[in-house]
Structure 1
Amino acid sequence: MINRIQIFDLAKASYNILPDYPWAKHPNYAVLRHHNNGKWFGLIMDISKNKLNLVGNEKIDILNLKAPKEFIGPLRKKKGIYPAYHMDKSNWISINLSEIDNLHEIQDLIAESFALTS
């Protein structure tokens, strides 16, 4: 299982980006955005499991990332990757961080999202 701090540390080390928290109503929703254009390449939210059609109402951290359209279908077949919650499902995926064993499993997906949104 990985956590949001590991994602934030990766964003800082790789892109010199810190999360921002634009919604007072959702203080745990963190956006990772480009310095040059303000576009998001990642969004971390704490949502109830049932919002991803998982059993239960307990909160989980998810990471939304943009992915190439041709990879969306195959990615969703992998453990921990789901149709995007609250985003365009044809361009974005949601990753349940509690189902990911180490950061290396999603590091390339984060880099791809960063590149697609720059």
Structure 2
Amino acid sequence: MISRDDIFKYIQNKYKVEPDYPWVKYANFAALRHKDSGKWFGLIMDITGDKLGIKSNKKINVLNVKVRKEMIGSLRELENVYPAYHMDKNNWVSIVLDYTETLDDIKSLIEESYELTS
């Protein structure tokens, strides 16, 4: 299982970016933004599994990242990857952090999202 802190530490070390929390109502939703433009390259949320079509009302941590359109179909075939919650499903996916084994499993997706949103 990957924690939010694992993601935050990786992003701080690689991009010198700290998460920000833009919504009072959703105080645990963390936006990951480019320092220069403010554009998002990631969003970490705690949502109930049913929001992604998982048969559970338990809260889970998910990371939304932007991916290449041609990769959407194959990524969604992976066990812990879903159409993005609350974002453009043609360009973004949601990764369930609670079910993802290691940070290495998703580093390339984070890096791609950073590049695609530059």
Tell me the TM-score normalised to structure 2 length: 0.99
CA drift of 1:56 comes to 1.2
Q: Which amino acid aligns with 1:73?
A: G
- Find the residue that maps to 1:93 and give its secondary structure: strand
Alignment of 1:96-111 (within 5 A): 96-111=96-111
Moved over 6 A (4+): none
| Paired-residue identity, % | 53
Aligned to 2:93: 93
Aligned to 1:64: 64
Q: Which amino acid aligns with 2:65?
A: L
Q: In the aligned structure 1, how far is the partner of 2:79 from the partner of 2:15?
A: 26
Q: In the aligned structure 2, how far is the partner of 1:3 from the partner of 1:73?
A: 26
Q: Gaps (5+ residues) in structure 1?
A: none
Tell me the TM-score normalised to structure 1 length: 0.99
Q: In the aligned structure 1, how far is the partner of 2:65 from the partner of 2:9?
A: 16
CA drift of 1:22 comes to 0.4
Q: In the aligned structure 2, how far is the partner of 1:70 from the partner of 1:91?
A: 9
Alignment of 1:75-86 (within 5 A): 75-86=75-86
CA RMSD of aligned residues (A): 0.4
- Find the residue that maps to 1:64 and give its secondary structure: strand
